[in-house]
Amino acid sequence: MRAAWYERKGPAREVLEVGEMDTPEPGPGELRVRLAASGINPADVKLRAGINDYGFNFPRVIPNSDGAGTVDQVGAGVDPTWVGRRVWLYNGQRLGRAFGTAADYIALDAGLVHALPDKLGFAEGATLGIPAMTAHRCVFADGSVTGKTVLVTGGAGAVGHYAVQLAAWGGARVLATVSGEAKAAHALAGGAAAVVNYRQEDVARRVRELTDGEGVDRIVEVDFGGNLATAMGALKRSGTIAIYASDGNPQPQIDARALMALNATLRFVVLNSIPLEARRQAQRDVTRWALGGGLFPVAARFPLDEIVAAHELVESLDKLGTVVVEP
């Protein structure tokens, strides 16, 4: 099969190669997917660049964790009716696996695969996976959001945009922070009731105004360290901050007394390690939501031979949605 890979960490142009590799065979409990689309996450490019290692060290790595395609083989113990089904998948390059979705085929645990609704194209299916499932965990880990107010920081980002949509789907009033007009329109299209431009407004003050002084029940947080003071100013008593990133300040100092006074809950979220049943529920809910008419933003599509440009676009941060490579 054709695949992209790297054998050392570094800039995309220096380390990514495209060529021929052996086609994988599904082992017990696995199935094989003929990939039509590969979604690139920020974590994928950070891993390739050596910014983060996630405990991940292999002599050769096929990048990208999410994807979509058609099951063409199953291993021992897997229901043979999977063969021929359109699917989306997540964590292809995680949990001890070196070979991700930037390839013609991937063989992986059947539990990481879910049926793709016919109404979705493969490129749209490849935008789900880690972004949508992380958003689901952040929104719903502490129960129903019906009738609650949820603040999504970075509401135009990959995880943020799905968090906006899923929270609205779940019955919440959603507020979102954005950095400009285009991103504001993106968040509003996803179901946000109001947006706050964090470059121009005092976010905590504006959130208080939008909630009649009460604050929000939950925050889906893209930068815990960088936004901590704002989050504490916007959070309602007994509220929850669900944290899936903290790049602005990875090791923030927290005011424990102030958080205790708020009776606040801090929930840290990494998809790899959340309970298995929570991941299965996310797969089911994300698929149900997709059938109901969600938005699946594809920022750009590249052929496999142009994977370097695809990774560089993700790193540029100049995109709305997920960058997809199509083997």
Buried b (16+ CB within 10 A) or exposed e, 32-70: bbbbbbbbbbbbbbbbbbeeeeeeeeeeebbbbbbbbbb
3-state secondary structure (DSSP) of residue 61: strand
pLDDT at 220: 98
Question: How many C-beta atoms surround the C-beta of residue 206 within 10 A?
Answer: 19
Query: What sign for the dihedral angle of Cα 57, 62, 67, 70?
Result: negative
What does the alpha-carbon distance between residue 7 and residue 279 come to, in Å, rounded to a whole number?
30
Phi, psi (deg, nearest 5) at residue 67: -175, 180
pLDDT at 54: 63
Q: What residue type is assigned to position 273 of the chain?
A: S
Q: By the 8 A CB rule, do 155 and 187 touch?
A: yes
What does the alpha-carbon distance between residue 152 and residue 159 come to, in Å, rounded to a whole number?
10
Q: By the 8 A CB rule, do 295 and 189 touch?
A: yes
User: Token pair 């880990």 is at which residue?
Assistant: 141
| Nearest to 299, CA basis, from 39, 69, 12 | 39
Helix or strand (DSSP H, E) at 314:
helix 307-316
| Nearest to 128, CA basis, from 322, 325, 326 | 322
3-state secondary structure (DSSP) of residue 209: helix
Q: What residue type is assigned to position 89 of the chain?
A: L
| Nearest to 185, CA basis, from 160, 165, 155, 207 | 155
pLDDT at 56: 65
Angle between the N-to-C axes of helices 129-140 and 158-169, in degrees from 0 to 180, rounded to the nearest 10: 50
Residues listed for the chain:
327
pLDDT at 231: 97
Residues of the chain with pLDDT under 70: 54-56
Q: For residue 107, give both structure tokens.
A: 């063989």
pLDDT at 51: 87
Q: For residue 258, give both structure tokens.
A: 């102030």
